Amino acid sequence: MHRTGELYGQFQTLEQQKESATMGMWVFLITEILFFGGLFLAYTVNRHAFPTAFGVGGNMLDLNLGFLNTIVLIVSSFTMAMSVWSAQTSRRKAVPAWLIATLLLGSAFLGIKVVEYKQKFDHHLIPGHNFDVTYCSRNQVACGLGDKEFADEQKEIHEGIEAEKAPRMSEEEATVALNAHAQLYFSLYFGMTGLHALHMIIGAGLLLWLIFEGFKGRFDANYNTPVENIGLYWHFVDIVWIFLFPLLYLINRHLA
């Protein structure tokens, strides 16, 4: 990489060159909006069709961990913005420092996500052969629930089964229906948060490269396009989570 901020032949000014880079990044981000948009659409349509099971599923997520992760990611967006500012104002040493902070927060997010996924695994909430949404309403100790939490869990599952009952449907059939529809919720949960986490992992890789180049003092007021554009990508991933958090974790809490 020898080109640092010199003017390419096809541009008339450096400003035009910079604008084109930003514009190109936004075009890429639009394809990402539509990529995630399809999943958000699938979620909305299925939630509309199976509101009970999606409510039960959503309330099984760990709200505290989700809340903590939202804060971690928002602060990481701030540190990313600060690294862009450091580059724009030629604070060459501050650039990698803010980038490292961003990388650490991004890694913390992924670490918390791993804890959450493990919890779902233990609670039989991974879609597939052993999926059982009623598991925690029957296994207080295995799910680590207190007495009140356990009673709430049982109440919620009972109400969910009642709501799934079609005319002339038995308790067992309604449980099968609740399980099938809750499995749909958790498929979307893992699909959406998984794709988001994949974007975070790619972002972490890009940050590593930026940190490496940042230590060489490559980014300053004259040349900071990579910091700016990877910053745009990082903020986009933050925005996706800003929507995932309320949709997956929050919208049925008022019924819990």
Partner 1 sequence: MSEHQEHIVSPKIYLTILTALLIGTGGTVYAAKIDLGRWNIVLALSIAVTKMTLVILFFMHGKYSARRTKLIIASGFFWLAILLVLTLADYTTRHAEPSRSQLAPVGELEQQPGAPLSA
Tell me which residues touch partner 1 (CB under 8 A). 13-16, 18-19, 22-23, 26-27, 29-30, 33-34, 37-38, 40-41, 44-45, 48-50, 63, 67, 70-71, 74-75, 77-78, 80-82, 85, 88-89, 163-164, 166-169, 173, 177, 180-181, 231-232, 235-236, 238-239, 242-243, 245-247, 250-251, 253-255
- Count of C-beta atoms within a 10 Å radius of residue 96: 22
145 touches 153 (CB < 8 A): yes
Closest CB to partner 1 among residues 79, 137: 79
| Cα–Cα distances in angstroms (integers) from residue 240 to residues 24, 74, 177, in the given order | 20, 11, 30
Closest CB to partner 1 among residues 132, 173: 173
Closest CB to partner 1 among residues 208, 255: 255
Least distance between partner 1 and beta carbon 126 (Å)? 22
Residues 6 or more apart in contact with residue 100 via CB below 8 angstroms: 211
Least distance between partner 1 and beta carbon 62 (Å)? 13
Least distance between partner 1 and beta carbon 141 (Å)? 27
End-to-end C-alpha distance for the chain, whole angstroms: 55
Least distance between partner 1 and beta carbon 30 (Å)? 4
Closest CB to partner 1 among residues 149, 212: 149
8 touches 17 (CB < 8 A): yes
Closest CB to partner 1 among residues 54, 150: 54
Angle at 145 between CA 139 and CA 147, to 5 degrees: 100
Least distance between partner 1 and beta carbon 139 (Å)? 26
What is the H or E stretch that residue 47 is in? helix 14-49
Residue 238 in tokens: 């933050």
| 125 dihedral zone (left: phi>0; alpha: psi -120 to 50; beta) | alpha
Closest CB to partner 1 among residues 45, 142: 45
Least distance between partner 1 and beta carbon 192 (Å)? 14
User: Distance between CA 127 and CA 46 in Å, rounded?
Assistant: 16
Say which residue the tokens 């709200």 belong to: 63
